[in-house]
Amino acid sequence: MNLHSAAACLASLVACTVFAAEEAPALSANELAARLSAKQQDGASYVRLKMEVKQPPNTVKTALQLQIKSRSTRAGTDLVYQVLWPKERKGESVLLRRSGNRAATGTLYIPPNAPKSLDGAQMKEALFGSDLSYEDVIENFFTWDQQAIVGTEVVDRVNCQILESKPGKGDRSSYSSVRTWVDTRRLIPLLVEKYGASGKLVRRIETTRVASDDNNHPVPANLTVRDSRGDSITELDGSRIRHGVTFSDDEFTPEKLKDVTTPRAGAD
């Protein structure tokens, strides 16, 4: 899950279209991964997202209102995250881009400074101080070469298949594997666990609420993200999603990060 599915997830994680609920066919690991990947390749979309970072987990440290502009196809993904509220942080923005299996790139803008590029190591840093990294919200691990169904388990009273994704030689990621507990009837990830090179759990992302988007499709509306330390939690509410929006190419440029604008509805 990535947070342009949520949240994009996240983006994630939040901004993804899902297929209509129906009886789940028997799918191989590659077929299941392909369908989950296709959900993220939903063209242009716009999300309003509330994000709360709690440190310790019962104390709100940061509360942000964000907007996410997403343009995602098989060829790649462009994402812009911008802070709308609170006033003192309005305009903080990040542009993330991924093309094929190439390494993702990013640009961070914190007013009044000039936009600055994010290198590969910085892509692992926190998105606006949350428990998600820049890498988390732009990465699509369902496209990785190695996909396997490694078991089944009930999550929140839903029977799920556990899909394990591992990067191949051409895939670039700081994670060695990702496990996704998939509600195969609705094709929704209910739980995602990401593991580092040592095999240790690095990040856990749970879907805590499912809602219908503007196309009346079920989507992960609320997400909870925890890192391996356990002393922090990020809660995301991104059910306000709109498809069929129009973005110009310059919306996804470093210079345009200085403008906080809402897209108009219309054909892509």
Instruction: Tell me what the mean pLDDT of segment 157-165 comes to.
Output: 97
- For the record, the structure tokens of 8 come out as 């994009």
Residue 4: its pLDDT value, please? Answer: 55
Please tell me the number of Cα atoms within 13 Å of 119 on its side-chain side. Answer: 1
Residue 2: its pLDDT value, please? Answer: 58
Confidence of residue 15 (pLDDT cuts 50, 70, 90): very low
Domains recognised in the chain with CATH numbers: 29-258 (2.50.20.10)
* 204 against 231, higher pLDDT: 204
Cβ pair 59, 235 in contact under 8 A: no
The closest of 139, 105, 138, 101 to 122, measured between CA atoms, is 105
How far from the centroid of its chain's Cα atoms is residue 258's Cα?
A: 23
Predicted confidence (pLDDT) at residue 7 exceeds the cutoff of 70:
no
Q: What is the mean pLDDT of the chain?
A: 88
Q: What is the pTM of this model?
A: 0.88
Instruction: Tell me what the mean pLDDT of segment 97-105 comes to.
Output: 87
Instruction: Tell me what the mean pLDDT of segment 240-250 comes to.
Output: 89
Instruction: Tell me what the mean pLDDT of segment 162-183 comes to.
Output: 95
Residue 238: its pLDDT value, please? Answer: 83
Instruction: Tell me what the mean pLDDT of segment 69-96 comes to.
Output: 95
Instruction: Tell me what the mean pLDDT of segment 246-262 comes to.
Output: 94
Predicted confidence (pLDDT) at residue 244 exceeds the cutoff of 90:
no
